[in-house]
């Protein structure tokens, strides 16, 4: 009797799970389902998405299998890319056992750059981002915004010659304004300027492995910044070629040895001249040679 109750409860639970998933997916218009393998994913766009760790991914997959896909995947059709996924990458991965998935098309985006800006803004709106991730996304967002702004200004200015001349005269007459890119990124990311400056150095100079550690929270922005700063100082330090130094030392030793031998020979000759001068009674020459001997001896002592 107990086994019968357990089996009945299991069937009810499985039926409840199935019904819940079916209800969630039924709430989405069936006309907006497409084959999962027809969706296009660009690695560059996927890199904007916060990565799930193994545990998060497994729990999310179980949730999709239990609850179904509650929200449709967002796609766009732009030149060169049909059915391009711009939101729902985690849902896409978790639905690997589903032949079809619910989708919704965003029609207001017309170019890949516009898609990038939309995705970056969308990601910045998430609450679970770490400071480094926010700074990284903000830096990319402002770069794309600047690019789009320049392109629009050039397009508008080139409509006719007069407009083009007016555009150039405005640019030439306007006094150049110094833009604080670091502060702009800090404002967009809602982080301090100091932390933003350190994060930007990490983004530009650190290896990808170190960036991943900072993104995951295993390393702080400050510790990663110190690591790459210390490494840069070591690389800039003058390098000593040990082989060249060793060879030069040998040459110097050889040169010193030759010089010393020459001075000893000179000292011997000076001593003989000193003796001859004394034997002949030439005291003046003997004094001179004695001074020369003393000078040579001092030089030899200095080289020891």
pLDDT in tens, 220-274: 999 999 999 998 888 776 665 655 556 556 556 666 666 667 777 787 877 888 7
Q: For the chain, which residues make up each domain, given as ranges?
A: 1-113, 129-237, 242-302
Domain 1-113 sits in CATH 3.90.1530: yes
**pTM assigned to the model:** 0.59
Q: What does the alpha-carbon distance between residue 106 and residue 267 come to, in Å, rounded to a whole number?
A: 99
Specify the pLDDT at position 10: 46
Helical (H) or strand (E) element with 220: none
Q: Tens digit of pLDDT per residue, the chain (304 long)? A: 544 454 445 444 444 444 544 444 444 445 589 999 999 999 999 999 988 888 988 999 999 988 888 899 999 999 999 999 999 999 999 999 899 999 999 999 999 999 999 999 999 998 889 999 999 999 999 988 888 777 777 777 666 555 554 555 455 445 556 789 999 999 999 999 999 999 999 999 999 999 999 998 999 999 999 999 998 888 776 665 655 556 556 556 666 666 667 777 787 877 888 788 778 788 888 778 788 788 778 777 766 6
> φ and ψ at 273, to 5 degrees?
-65, -35
Distant-in-sequence contacts of 6-14, Cβ < 8 A, 24+ apart: none
């Amino acid at each position: 009797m107990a086994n019968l109750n357990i089996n009945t409860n299991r069937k009810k639970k499985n039926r409840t799970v199935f019904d819940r998933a079916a209800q969630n997916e039924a709430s989405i218009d069936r006309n907006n389902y497409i084959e999962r393998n027809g969706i296009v994913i660009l690695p560059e766009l996927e890199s904007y998405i916060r990565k799930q760790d193994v545990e998060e991914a497994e729990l999310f997959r179980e949730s999709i299998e239990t609850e179904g896909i509650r929200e449709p995947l967002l796609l766009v059709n732009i030149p060169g890319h049909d059915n391009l996924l711009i939101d729902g990458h985690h849902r896409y991965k978790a639905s690997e056992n589903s032949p079809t998935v619910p989708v919704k098309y965003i029609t207001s985006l017309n170019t890949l750059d516009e898609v990038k800006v939309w995705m970056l803004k969308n990601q910045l709106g998430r609450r679970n981002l770490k400071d480094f991730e926010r700074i990284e996304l903000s830096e990319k967002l402002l770069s794309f915004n600047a690019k789009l702004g320049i392109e629009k200004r050039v397009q508008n200015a080139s409509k006719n010659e007069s407009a083009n001349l007016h555009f150039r005269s405005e640019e030439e007459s306007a006094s150049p304004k110094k833009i604080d890119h670091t502060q702009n990124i800090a404002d967009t990311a809602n982080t301090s300027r100091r932390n933003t400056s350190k994060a930007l150095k990490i983004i530009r100079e650190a290896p990808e492995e170190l960036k991943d550690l900072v993104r995951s929270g295993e390393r702080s922005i400050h510790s990663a910044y110190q690591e790459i700063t210390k490494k840069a100082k070591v690389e800039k330090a003058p390098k000593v070629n040990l082989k060249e130094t060793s060879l030069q030392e040998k040459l110097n030793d050889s040169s010193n040895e030759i010089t010393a031998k020459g001075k000893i020979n000179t000292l011997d000759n000076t001593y003989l001249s000193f003796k001859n001068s004394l034997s002949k009674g030439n005291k003046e020459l003997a004094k001179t040679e004695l001074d020369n001997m003393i000078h040579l001896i001092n030089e030899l002592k200095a080289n020891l």
